[in-house]
Structure 1
Amino acid sequence: MTPNAASASSGPSRRSFLASTAVATAAVAGGVPLLSACGGSDGGSRDGTTSGKDAKKILPAYVASNVVTPDIPAKNGSAIGFTSKLDLATLKTSVTKKLGKGGKVTVMSPFWGSPPKSGNAYYKAMNELIGVDVAWQNQDGNTYDQKLGAILASSDIPDVVVVPGWNMSGKIPTAIISKFADLGPYLSGDAVKDYPNLAAIPTDAWQRSIFGGKLRGLPMPAPWAPSIVPLYRKDIFDKEGYEIPKSCDEFMALAKEITNAKAKRWACLDMKWTAFQAFGVFSGSEKPLGWNMVDGKLVYRVETEQYLEALEWSRKLFEAGVVHPDSKMGKNAPDPGPKFAAGEFLIYAQNISQWWGRTAEQATQNPKFKIWGMDVWGHDGGNPTIYAEQPAGIFAFVNKKASESVIRDVLAVANVTAAPYGTKEYMMTNYGVEGTHYTVKDGVPAKTDQGNLEVMNAYVMVASPAATIAHPDFPEVAKGQVEWEQRMGAFTKKSTFWGMQITEPNRYTNLSNDFEQLEDDIVRGRKKISDMQQAVSDWKSKGGDKLRDWYKQILDENGSAAS
């Protein structure tokens, strides 16, 4: 309902690219950082690549929830949207009977912030609602991959382990296949109907939960529409009469008009990620998404003319002096929020969650402030070609040694945490107990001090409903966000390996790691386009061409999950 602001760098990195798609639209009340990445490990080409007829035998039946009707239904890969005020008196019930049998379930999950004490009022209320005694083993999210590796290598694995996509590197994907249970017997086909809120999770998210040919994950669904938005100061645009650009040339002309370095005003921050969208570059958010069939050949994003053109245009913005000096610092640039609010720059590309985040941040101190999202343009003034993001990015897994009763209790937990917005279960999961953890005034919920301490990123990590955007405090922002996703989703294509869970062999894990730094160096004028061309040539000879063959084998054996 109120996603956190994404990475505070001057531009999204690969690790923050899927920010809201992985977390912000689902972990709406916690302090979850918005990250994404991918890795690889040794694993056969069949690992996690089940699609087509084989997947249909495994996937849960989809049964849309009719408990709550969204104000804006999902379309073109968007989240669903709610624009009305919250009325506790009209909250629906999506879990009509307690499915938990009173057992104890241990859950290890990444946590950002100070974990609350066990047995607190929020945990007690949730466990009572579910009928399961959930015991949390919260671990520091910033060093989670280290803890995860150690736990999965041991014989002492908790009943449930949450694994974000960005932590699936090294030996972890192999461990997922060997250490976690097949949930197919409980969820495949009509079996999922015992858990109506899980049945309402979109099939695309379940497809991403297939690891090693088995349904092993409980997903956190995400929109596949783009999540990186060219955000801009609409209030200043309106005041100055600036028009939204519809091509790269128009953007450059506008940027020069806006910029006045003596007056400490620049047009933008680093616009590389918007350039990738404008020039139609394959997604850089996850390695498999960077591959696509072009004229019968499998091509990686860095091999394309569009990729070089996007970098060249981004470089020209720096060269023209229209980019705020902070962007020259790259990833360690300060939080852009204060300078954006001060009007030092008017446009920046970031995660869609910052649309709400900046609005809420400035609402009281700067009432004239208005942030909005530009529609992405095609570089030449036509429609853009944007590539879809993954429909799920965080997963919960159940220990292979768990008994049926423990698995059933875990699914009882997930069935509550996947309750849709507008239900009592959703409010409990995301806000806690009314009066204790939150209050509602004029249809807007606000956490109490106790709520801020106790109701953080816990239960939402087990499973979540279909991606949802709802801001009762700023409903016009929720409407703007969903409608932007829908408009941009209309120009979004699914690349060849979209929706598939693929782990690259360990020997290729670091093959593409240096490209992002080189991109940033080129954009900032420290390196040349020819340096990238040489890097691509080296990439091919060092394993890129062999990796292409590996992906082609996956495609030949499994087909594409994209449709």
Structure 2
Amino acid sequence: MDHRIDRRSLLRLAGVGALGLAVPSFLTACGGGPSGGGVSNAGKDLAPWPTYVPFTGPTPDAPGDDSGVQPLYLKYPERLVRSVGDTPGDGSDVTVMVLSYGAPPKPVGDNQYWQAVNRALGVNLKVIVVPDPEYGQKMATLMASSGDLPDLVMFSNLALPHAAEFVQARCADLSEFVGGDAVKEYPNLANLPTYAWKGMGRIGGKLHGVPLERPMPANSLFVNRTALDAAGIPLDWTTEQHLDAMKQLTGDRKWGVGWFKTLFGGLGGITYHAGSLGAPNTWSADGGAFAPTLATPQFEQALEVMRELVESGAHYPDSLTTSSTDMQSHFHNGTVATMNDGFGSVSLATMKKIDGRFALDLGRPYGPQATPWQGPGVFGHVTFKKAEPARVKLLLRIVDYLSAPFGTEEHELANYGVEGKHFTKDADGIRTTDLYGQENNSLLPTKYVGAAPAVLYLPGYPDAAKAVHEWQKATLPRSVRNPATGLRSATEAGKGAQLGQIVGEGIAAVAFGRKPLSAWKDVVTQWRQAGGDRVAGELAEEHAANR
């Protein structure tokens, strides 16, 4: 998730949406009957996952590992390499439809970043930027239309009804181009880790897109380490120490913990507490049978911790009416000492908003048998308009260029623009200019057309980068993945909003004391009867097919 969080993004990053029980992922967002029909993977010949060929880039200051720990860079590489030999394009127009969380980009004639990207790609990018509040409706209109499609369409993790059927019917099957060793023709796509392809998943056994990779951590507890250190609160803590710490940090119109309301009425933060106390990540899949984390004692214990935080007054008092953006501001200015947010908020933008007020860190899970939850490994993915093979390959070369990894010339252009115009370099590395604030890959969201595997690099803030890396090393080796990631369920697609409402309202009612903790069992029963048990059965069928 990127640093600008909104109500739709919360469904993935916090509260019930992150459970995957309330809102289906893209590949579960389709109907088609009980087993999903043609878009189901059960009983289909499965395209092989793309062969993983990692990029041998600049040596990091501290390495990453297979648990999801990112390579740490404290300085920008002195020498960059080229990852793309020839200009990808042929001078043609390429229409792209992408999501945006920012203001509209400057027109291409006035936009030096856009012009530079066009020259590098060898095409004329015609970018349709869809503001986030309009994304769901715009995508629904696109899918309902029988007209011509853009060449490239970005799908976020927001669930869209019948999206899989649309993609299968109207978008290119990329299996022959990127499945197995075929992906080696596009080395930057081969550098995308397998978990990202699996997070995107297959449709009807085929590969219908390229994933937009994101780091492994899911919803995380962002902490004001300066405030915690001043109060003598340790890095590693028990459940009781966590509760006491949040109380200790509360007073004089400051609070220990900041929550915010999710779309379905739940509270952001349940994932951190559930993972701290050993709850399975959304589902357990023992023996191939799916069981919801909602029904586990550990999840109920997490609700009890949240309830205790409410009763003690340690939480921000307007949690059920405060937006995520406002709560982020409260964290940045020190009003709240901790808040749950998507890991993507570990960013240069966040550091600039904190503006030196305190040292940023992430809070470690507090339970003795913690199972920190991993994210899906993707922010979304890009689909391709059906076309002749030569055209599909051209589009793949464009996405390959924009997916170039850290340490390459292509990555520098795509992420920072033109040296001397959008950024300069000094001993600390990249220094963005005022022009970068007006022309970048957020305002012209090329980063949602292709994305490299993320590294830990916060120019000018090495201590924060080191702290996050230490947190990853302490947390990720024991983290657990959601076994439903990349799978689909027709029932969840059709009843996801209803199921989410049940869970979200139940979390809020129990946490804020409107109902006793014992009432949670009734919430789980209601969820099961409303379709939760059917979701479990369908996921088990898909899981068996995707092995």
SS at match of 2:226: helix
CA distance in 2, matches of 1:36, 1:499: 10
Gaps of at least 5 residues in structure 2 are 260-268
Q: Map 1:216-231; keep pairs closer than 5 Å.
A: 216-224=208-216, 226-231=217-222
- Provide closer, same or farther for how the CA distance between residues 158 and 62 of structure 1 changes in structure 2, counting only shifts above 3 A: same
Is 1:455 equivalent to 2:440 in the alignment?
yes
Offset at residue 245 of structure 1 (A): 5.2
CA distance in 2, matches of 1:519, 1:494: 22
Tell me the equivalent position of 2:399.
414
Kept in 2, the 8 Å contact 1:358–1:371? The answer is: no
Is 1:127 equivalent to 2:127 in the alignment?
no
- Provide closer, same or farther for how the CA distance between residues 370 and 388 of structure 1 changes in structure 2, counting only shifts above 3 A: closer
Q: Map 1:28-427; keep pairs closer than 5 Å.
A: 40-43=29-32, 44-45=35-36, 50=41, 55=46, 57-78=47-68, 80-86=70-76, 90-112=79-101, 113-119=103-109, 120-154=111-145, 155-166=147-158, 168-207=159-198, 208-224=200-216, 226-244=217-235, 246-259=237-250, 261=251, 263-270=252-259, 271-283=269-281, 290-294=282-286, 297-327=289-319, 329-332=320-323, 335-340=326-331, 343-356=334-347, 357-363=349-355, 366=357, 369-378=358-367, 382-400=368-386, 402-427=387-412
Kept in 1, the 8 Å contact 2:89–2:122? The answer is: yes
CA distance in 2, matches of 1:548, 1:353: 29
CA deviation map 1:528-549 (0-9, x unaligned): 3343322222222232233333
Q: TM-score, normalised by structure 1?
A: 0.84
Offset at residue 358 of structure 1 (A): 4.3
Instruction: Work out which of the residue numbers 429, 436, 439 in structure 1 matches 2:424.
Output: 439
Letter in 1 for 2:395: V
- Provide closer, same or farther for how the CA distance between residues 396 and 334 of structure 1 changes in structure 2, counting only shifts above 3 A: closer
SS at match of 1:163: strand
CA distance in 1, matches of 2:4, 2:278: 24
- Provide closer, same or farther for how the CA distance between residues 427 and 523 of structure 1 changes in structure 2, counting only shifts above 3 A: same
Kept in 1, the 8 Å contact 2:186–2:396? The answer is: yes
SS at match of 1:522: helix
Letter in 2 for 1:266: W
Instruction: Work out which of the residue numbers 474, 477, 491 in structure 1 matches 2:461.
Output: 474
Tell me the equivalent position of 2:514.
526
- Provide closer, same or farther for how the CA distance between residues 255 and 448 of structure 1 changes in structure 2, counting only shifts above 3 A: closer
SS at match of 1:409: helix
CA deviation map 1:130-155 (0-9, x unaligned): 22322212222221111111112222
Letter in 1 for 2:84: V
Offset at residue 45 of structure 1 (A): 4.0
Kept in 2, the 8 Å contact 1:231–1:347? The answer is: yes
Kept in 2, the 8 Å contact 1:104–1:406? The answer is: no
**Aligned-residue CA RMSD (Å):** 3.0
Letter in 1 for 2:14: F
Q: TM-score, normalised by structure 2?
A: 0.86
SS at match of 1:386: coil
Kept in 1, the 8 Å contact 2:403–2:450? The answer is: yes
CA distance in 2, matches of 1:269, 1:193: 45
SS at match of 1:510: helix
- Provide closer, same or farther for how the CA distance between residues 501 and 428 of structure 1 changes in structure 2, counting only shifts above 3 A: farther
CA deviation map 1:226-261 (0-9, x unaligned): 3322222222333332334522122223333343x3
What is the aligned-residue identity percentage?
Answer: 24
Offset at residue 398 of structure 1 (A): 0.6
Is 1:536 equivalent to 2:524 in the alignment?
yes
Tell me the equivalent position of 1:14.
11
Tell me the equivalent position of 2:266.
none
CA distance in 1, matches of 2:298, 2:407: 43
CA distance in 1, matches of 2:314, 2:214: 34
Letter in 1 for 2:154: V
Letter in 1 for 2:428: G
- Provide closer, same or farther for how the CA distance between residues 342 and 392 of structure 1 changes in structure 2, counting only shifts above 3 A: closer
CA distance in 2, matches of 1:123, 1:185: 31
Equivalenced residue count is 521
SS at match of 1:540: helix
Kept in 2, the 8 Å contact 1:198–1:418? The answer is: yes
CA distance in 1, matches of 2:301, 2:40: 32
CA distance in 2, matches of 1:159, 1:477: 40
- Provide closer, same or farther for how the CA distance between residues 330 and 13 of structure 1 changes in structure 2, counting only shifts above 3 A: farther
SS at match of 1:439: strand
Letter in 1 for 2:233: Y
Letter in 2 for 1:359: M
Letter in 2 for 1:202: P
Offset at residue 76 of structure 1 (A): 4.2
Offset at residue 516 of structure 1 (A): 1.6
- Provide closer, same or farther for how the CA distance between residues 52 and 268 of structure 1 changes in structure 2, counting only shifts above 3 A: farther
CA distance in 1, matches of 2:218, 2:30: 27
CA deviation map 1:362-399 (0-9, x unaligned): 335x3xx2121221121xxx241123321223111111
Offset at residue 179 of structure 1 (A): 0.9
